[in-house]
Amino acid sequence: DVIVFDEATSALDNITEKEISAAIDSLSGNKTIITVAHRLSTVQNCDLIVLMKDGAIVATGTYDELISESESFRKLALLDDQVEKIEGETQK
């Protein structure tokens, strides 16, 4: 079985996104799950992340591997953290 989630959490607040991500994580096992996401927190627990730019693959690995080995991914992670911090402050 293959399940594709295309920006499944893009319009959600951080709390709901975590709940949806936990539900998606619980589906893993004998299913292949493909997640398309701009929010890096959505793919943090994925077995394999494929970073693409302009239709080309620029890096692959786990979240931790990409943080340590890919400058492009690190930049995205910093931006993602800043956005989440701002969103968290506006929800208070």
Domain ranges of the chain: 2-90
pLDDT at res. 55: 95
Which string of DSSP letters, residue by residue, matches 47-92? S-EEEEETTEEEEEE-HHHHHHH-HHHHHHHHHHHHHHHHHHHHT-
pLDDT per position as a tens digit, 8-57: 888 888 888 889 888 888 887 778 999 998 888 888 889 999 999 999 99
pLDDT at res. 30: 79
pLDDT per position as a tens digit, 64-86: 999 999 999 999 988 877 666 65
Q: Is-contact 47 39, C-beta < 8 A?
A: no
Q: Name the more confident of 91 and 10.
A: 10
Q: Which class is domain 2-90?
A: alpha beta
Which H or E run contains 36?
A: strand 32-36
Q: Which two tokens stand for residue 89?
A: 């402050």
